[in-house]
Structure 1
Amino acid sequence: MSTVFLIESSPKSLYHSIQYSSRTIYLCWHHLTDAIREGTNQYEKAFGRNSKDLFQALYRSDEEMVKFMHLMNSIWNICGRDVITAFDLSPFRSIYDLGGCSGALAKHCVSVYPESSVTIFDLPKVVKTSREHFVSQRDDRIHFYEGDFFKDALPPADLYILARILHDWTDQRCVELLRKGYQSCTPGGGVLLVEALLHEDNSGPLTVQLYSLNMLVQTEGRERKGSEYSGLLAAAGFTCVHIHRTGKIYDVILARK
C-alpha cells in the first residue's frame, strides 16, 4: 500500500496531503487549547497572519496556495469518483464546481458524465495555477471562471457542486452562498454538497469529530449533521433534499430547486 499512497508519483499518492498536514495544519493544532477557549481559528498565532479574510490567510503565499491545491488534488484523486457517483448527475449538463481548486473533481465528473461540462469557479490566482499545473487544456469539457463566490454573481447552471466548502463557514455565510445557488440555478437544477457528516446524536464518526476540531483551528466553520445541512438548504429555498451516506469518508447531499 505504501507504493500506492506514499510514493509521490503515484496517481493516488497522499504525499502532498501528509506534507501539508505536518507543515501547516499541525502548526495551528499547536494552539488547540486557545482555539477551544476563544472559539476562533489560530492563523494569527501560528503564522502571524490576520484571518479576517480566511483565504487570504490560507493562501498567504503562492507556495502555500500550491501546497493546499496539491492537498485537495490528492483527496479528490482518491475520493472523487465515490462522491460524483453517489447520485445520478447525468441530467445536469451544465455544472459549476464552486471552489473547484485543482480540478480533480471536475475531471472525475466529465469522465463519469461525458455529456456534461464542468466549469471550475475559483479565485483568479487559483484558476491560473490550475490551468498551468493541474488541468489539461485538451479536455474541452472543463472550463474556468474567475471570481469570488461570495462577492460575485454565480453564472446560471444546472448544478453547483460545493465539495468541502460549507464546512469552512458560519451558518450565516453558508445560507448566503446557498441562496445565491438557489437563485442562479436553472429550473429543476440544484446543488450537490460533499461533506463529512456527523451522526445525528453527535456520537461520531471519530474522524468527522477530528475534522470539526480542525475546522476550529483553521477556519470559521465546523462539520455538521445531515439535519443541519438540510436546515441550511431549506433556509436558502431548497425544498427537495436527499442525503446519501456513502459509508466512506465523505457523504453527499443533493438538493433541487
Structure 2
Amino acid sequence: MAERRDPASSQGEPAAPAADMYPRKILEYMEGFLISKTVFTSCELGVFDVLLAAERPLSAEEISQAVGASVDGTQRLLGACTGLQLLNTQWDDGQAFYSNTEQSRVFLTRSSPLSLYQSIQYSSRTIYLCWHYLTDAVRSGRNQYEKAFGVSSKDLFQALYRSDEEMVKFMHLMNSIWNICGKDVVTALDLTPFEVVCDLGGCSGALAKQCTLAYPKCTVTIFDLPKVVRVSREHFVSAADQRIGFCEGDFFKDSLPAADLFILARILHDWTDERCIELLCRIYKACKPGGGVLLVEALLNEDGSGPLTAQLYSLNMLVQTEGRERTGAQYAALLASSGFTNIQHRLTGKIYDAVLGHKET
C-alpha cells in the first residue's frame, strides 16, 4: 500500500509542529536582558556590598533600608537574585534572610580584588545603551555612538573617551577584566625570551602587572594616550610597580619605543583589517630582531560555530567600534601581511586567547 503523505508536506510547506513542542531556549533568550538588568541593578544599589558589610544574613526590610529602596521592590529583586543563585536564602520563623554566595562575594562586591563591579557598571550604562540600536548597526554596518550618546564617532577614541568620567569607567572595566583573565593570556605562550615589553593601549596597567608577576626579568612600558597615562599614574599604577613605565602617544601617529615584545590586548578587534595591518607594520618596524607581538583577543572558531561569547562580542564591536572579532587564522593572516612569521595561537579556556607572531633575527 502506498504511504499517505500530508498534502502540505508534498507542496514544500513545513509540517505542523509537535503538539508538545515548547520554545524553552527561545524564551530564555528573550528574557536574557531581564537577567542582565537584575544583576546591573543589584550592583548599582549595592546589595552585595551591604550583605558583605553586615557579616550576617539580612532581611529584605534591612537591605531595603540600607540601599534606600522600597521594601516591595527590594523583595522582588532579592527573590530574582536568589533564583539566579547570586544570593542564599534561609528562613527563620517564616521570614527570609539573605546572604551572598561565594561567587557574589568574590566578583560582585566593590572591595574584592577580583570585583567585576566596574565592568558591570560600564555594561549597564554604556554598552547596554549602544545595544538598543543594534538593528541600526546591523543595517548600516556602523557603530551607534551618535544615536546612543549624541557624539560623533569619526575619531573612535574621542567617542569612547567622550568625557573623563567615561574614560575612567572604561579603564576600570579593563582593569577588572585583566585581574581575572590577565595571568592566563600572558602565560598561554612562553614569553620568557622577551625582557623589554611594550603594552600598546595598556590602559590601567593591569595586564602589565600580570606580565611582571609572571616574568620576573621583564620590564613593561605602557604606551597610551596622554590623558589615559595621566589617569593610570594617578589611580592604577603605584610607585611600588617599579618595572612598569609609561610612554605617551597615539600608536597610529607617534613613534613607538623599541621593544622585544609588543602586546596588543583587545586592540585589533576595534579596527578594520586595513587599520590593523597599518598598526602591525608600524610595530614590525619598531620591534627588535628576534622579537615579537602578542595579540590578546576572543578568538572565534575557524568554522564560525562559536564560541557564543566571541560571536556576541563581534556584534558588540559592530555597535561600538570599527572592528570585529576574528579567528586565529584571520589574525595570523594579518600578522603575516605585516611581516611576522612563526605564528602560534593558544586557547586559554576563558574569554580571551593569545596569538604570538615573531620577527626574524
* Class of the TM-score when normalised by the shorter of the 2 chains: over 0.9
SS at match of 2:170: helix
Kept in 2: contact 1:181–1:190 (CA 8 A)? no
**In structure 1, which of residues 26, 39, 44 is the aligned counterpart of residue 128 of structure 2?**
26
Equivalent residue, structure 2, for 1:177: 279
Which stretch of structure 1 is more off in the superposition, 169-178 or 238-247?
Answer: 238-247
**Structure 2 counterpart of 1:241, which letter?**
I
**CA–CA distance in 1 between the matches of 2:160 and 2:171?**
11
Equivalent residue, structure 2, for 1:238: 340
Equivalent residue, structure 1, for 2:107: 5
**CA–CA distance in 1 between the matches of 2:250 and 2:160?**
15
**CA–CA distance in 1 between the matches of 2:133 and 2:240?**
45
**Structure 2 counterpart of 1:85, which letter?**
T
**In structure 1, which of residues 91, 94, 99 is the aligned counterpart of residue 193 of structure 2?**
91
Query: Max radius of gyration: which structure?
Result: 2
Aligned residues: 257
CA shift for structure 1 position 155: 1.1
CA shift for structure 1 position 165: 0.4
**In structure 2, which of residues 150, 166, 177 is the aligned counterpart of residue 48 of structure 1?**
150
Answer yes or no: is 1:141 the counterpart of 2:243. yes
**Structure 1 counterpart of 2:165, which letter?**
E
**Structure 1 counterpart of 2:226, which letter?**
P
- Offset from partner CA, 1:29-83 (integer Å, 9 cap, x none): 0000000000000000000000000000000000000000000000000000000
Answer yes or no: is 1:71 the counterpart of 2:173. yes
Equivalent residue, structure 2, for 1:17: 119
SS at match of 1:191: strand
What TM-score comes out, normalization by structure 2 length? 0.71
Which residues of structure 1 form unaligned runs of 5+? none
Equivalent residue, structure 2, for 1:209: 311
**CA–CA distance in 2 between the matches of 1:119 and 1:137?**
14
Q: Percent identity?
A: 75
**In structure 1, which of residues 154, 157, 175 is the aligned counterpart of residue 259 of structure 2?**
157
SS at match of 2:207: helix
Answer yes or no: is 1:256 the counterpart of 2:331. no
**Structure 2 counterpart of 1:147, which letter?**
G
**CA–CA distance in 2 between the matches of 1:230 and 1:160?**
16
SS at match of 2:304: coil
**Structure 2 counterpart of 1:117, which letter?**
T
CA shift for structure 1 position 138: 2.2
**CA–CA distance in 1 between the matches of 2:206 and 2:175?**
6
**CA–CA distance in 2 between the matches of 1:163 and 1:139?**
20
Equivalent residue, structure 1, for 2:64: none
Equivalent residue, structure 1, for 2:69: none
**In structure 2, which of residues 304, 326, 329 is the aligned counterpart of residue 227 of structure 1?**
329
**Structure 1 counterpart of 2:276, which letter?**
C
**Structure 2 counterpart of 1:130, which letter?**
S
CA shift for structure 1 position 247: 1.7
What TM-score comes out, normalization by structure 1 length? 0.99
Matches within 5 A, 1:111-122: 111-122=213-224
Kept in 2: contact 1:244–1:252 (CA 8 A)? yes
Question: Any runs of at least 4 consecutive aligned residues in structure 1 with deviations exceeding 2 A, and if so which?
Answer: none
**CA–CA distance in 1 between the matches of 2:158 and 2:300?**
28
CA shift for structure 1 position 88: 1.3
**CA–CA distance in 2 between the matches of 1:34 and 1:252?**
32
Equivalent residue, structure 2, for 1:60: 162
**CA–CA distance in 2 between the matches of 1:112 and 1:251?**
16
